[in-house]
Every structure is written in structure tokens, then in C-alpha cells.
């Protein structure tokens, strides 16, 4: 039995920040890309299908999922295969309506049918996600893992999924803490947005033991900023609840009154969402 925090920290993992150049600035890179794209679409209107899709991806990255859906839905109706996966993702994971989840399953099925012979690494990763989580098909974890591994050199999100599989013992893998940290560090190094949060979970959310504190706090603050922007430009049940969920997680490392303050903020946004729900908005 581990009796002290010092021993716990010593026992957890051997991969450290310097081994994977973790001191990268994901937030700087993402902000620069989003700023460039925002200026691009500020200066001209997206009219071609390919441009509309790019603009929809920008809205998705900005956490304005409802705006993304409004752009992706017409593309999907035109049978633009490249829009299917992201459209289904928005409906399944980022909607408060059960009928949207049912619709998403049908879109996932169309996506899988249309991309059977795909060789694009991103599309292979998207197909693997469907098999991993049973989206539009029966779950097939082993098949998903092999697909993730096949594209892991070019798709950071595939590295993230491999890391989570080793962390949780899913997709036909045995739990392996060192491999989990290895792949999650690689995913973060290659700018997979959620990897730093998965690493924190790997460490049992033990702040004092976590070697990537600066990266985590920067990523959390950056996500808060994106969700606050979404609330500002598109106040809705979804945007309020999404922001509330982040506040409920608490700022990494906060305790006592600081943590309670974040929870009070979450309650404020939950009340705003409930008010909109009562009005049927």
C-alpha cells in the first residue's frame, strides 16, 4: 500500500516532459491557426462547398457546434461525404436533443458505406472511431485499434486513442500505464487537444504528482476562453451547459474556496440553460 504522496509521485510513470518536448505551445499554435482562418473568412464569404466545410471546421474548433451544424447540414444533404463524420459528431456528442443522436447514427452509417475504400489517413481514423465506439456499426475494438495504429504516424488523434486504450484497458489492450503515457505525450506533442486532459486522468488527477502542470492549466484556460466566446456569440442551452461542465471540473490544482468559486460559476450557467429550456429556446 502506498502511504505517502511522495511515494505515490515516485511510483507514477517514468515518462517526463523533457523526454517528449512537452514544453510546446499548443495554445499558441491553435490560436494562430484560428486567427488566420477567422481573418480569411471575415474578408470573404464561404460559397463553394469546400469553403463552407472549412468554415464549419473552424466553428467546430471554436466550440460553436450549433453554428457548425448549420453549415454542415446543407452539405450533408448534398451528399458531400467529407461533411458526414463531423456533422454526425456534432449531432451525437454536442446536441441536447435525443432525435439528433438518432439522426447521427444514420449519418455515421452513410459515412461508413461511402468510405469503404478510403485511403486518406484522417478518414481511416474517422472510420476507426466508428468501430471503437459503435457509431453506426457494431463495436469492434480490435479492428479499431489496428486502424488507429496504422495512421498514428500522421493523425495525432489516433495516438490519443491508442493512449486511452492502454490507460483504460479497452480496444483489446491490457492496461499499460507506461505505454498510455508514451502515446498520450506523443499525441499532445503533435497537438491533439484532449491529450493533456487524458494524461491528468492517467495520474488520477493528483495535482502535486502531475509533471505537466503548466501545459494543463494553459489548455484548460484556453478551452474556457473558447466556450465563453461560444456563449457570447451564440447563447443557447448547449453553449451554457458546455461551459458549465468545464467550470464543474474545476481549475486544475484549485482547492477550497477557489474550487467552490468555479462551482458557483457553473451553477450560474446551468441556471441560464434552464431558463432557456423553460422558454423553449
DSSP 21: T
Cα–Cα dist 107/92, whole Å: 10
Q: Is 14's pLDDT higher than 90?
A: no
Mean per-residue pLDDT for 258-278?
94
Q: Lowest-confidence range among 26-30, 168-172, 206-210, 255-259?
A: 26-30
What share of the chain in percent tops pLDDT 90? 82
Secondary structure of 245-258 in HEC code, one letter for each residue: HHHHHCCCCCCHHH
As to burial, measured by CB atoms within 10 angstroms (0-12 exposed, 13-18 middle, 19+ buried), residue 251 is: middle
Q: Is 1's pLDDT higher than 50?
A: no
**Angle formed at CA 257 by CA 256 and CA 260, multiple of 5 degrees:** 90
- The answer to whether residues 218 and 206 touch, using CB atoms and an 8 Å cutoff, is no
Q: Is 143's pLDDT higher than 50?
A: yes
- pLDDT, one tens digit per residue, over 229-245 is 999 999 999 999 999 99
Cα–Cα dist 178/199, whole Å: 11
Cα–Cα dist 201/179, whole Å: 15
Instruction: Indicate the SS3 state at residue 117.
Output: coil
Global model pTM greater than 0.75: yes
What share of the chain in percent tops pLDDT 70? 91
Q: Is 177's pLDDT higher than 80?
A: yes
Cα–Cα dist 217/210, whole Å: 11
Residue 128 pLDDT class (50, 70, 90 cuts): very high
Q: Which residues fall within 8 angstroms of residue 273, CB to CB, at 6 or more apart?
A: 237, 240, 241, 244
Residue 23 pLDDT class (50, 70, 90 cuts): low
Amino acid at each position: 500500500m502506498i502511504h505517502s504522496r511522495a511515494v505515490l509521485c515516485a511510483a507514477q510513470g517514468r515518462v517526463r516532459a523533457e523526454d517528449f518536448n512537452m514544453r510546446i505551445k499548443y495554445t499558441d499554435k491553435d490560436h494562430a491557426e484560428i486567427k488566420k482562418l477567422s481573418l480569411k473568412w471575415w474578408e470573404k464569404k464561404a460559397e463553394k462547398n469546400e469553403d463552407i466545410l472549412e468554415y464549419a471546421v473552424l466553428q467546430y474548433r471554436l466550440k460553436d457546434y450549433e453554428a457548425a451544424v448549420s453549415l454542415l447540414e446543407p452539405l450533408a444533404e448534398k451528399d458531400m461525404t467529407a461533411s458526414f463524420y463531423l456533422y454526425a459528431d456534432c449531432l451525437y456528442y454536442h446536441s441536447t436533443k435525443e432525435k439528433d443522436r438518432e439522426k447521427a447514427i444514420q449519418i455515421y452509417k452513410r459515412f461508413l458505406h461511402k468510405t469503404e475504400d478510403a485511403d486518406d489517413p484522417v478518414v481511416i481514423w474517422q472510420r476507426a472511431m466508428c468501430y471503437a465506439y459503435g457509431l453506426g456499426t457494431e463495436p469492434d475494438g480490435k479492428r479499431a485499434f489496428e486502424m488507429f495504429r496504422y495512421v498514428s504516424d500522421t493523425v495525432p488523434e489516433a495516438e490519443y486513442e491508442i493512449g486511452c486504450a492502454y490507460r483504460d484497458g479497452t480496444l483489446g489492450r491490457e492496461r499499460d500505464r507506461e505505454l498510455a503515457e508514451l502515446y498520450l505525450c506523443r499525441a499532445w506533442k503533435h497537438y491533439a487537444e484532449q491529450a493533456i486532459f487524458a494524461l491528468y486522468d492517467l495520474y488520477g488527477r493528483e495535482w502535486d504528482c502531475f509533471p505537466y502542470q503548466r501545459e494543463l492549466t494553459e489548455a484548460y484556460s484556453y478551452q474556457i476562453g473558447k466556450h465563453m466566446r461560444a456563449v457570447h456569440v451564440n447563447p443557447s442551452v448547449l453553449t451554457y451547459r458546455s461551459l458549465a461542465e468545464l467550470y464543474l471540473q474545476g481549475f486544475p490544482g484549485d482547492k477550497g474556496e477557489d474550487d467552490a468559486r468555479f462551482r458557483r460559476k457553473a451553477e450560474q450557467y446551468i441556471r441560464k440553460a434552464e431558463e432557456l429550456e423553460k422558454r423553449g429556446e
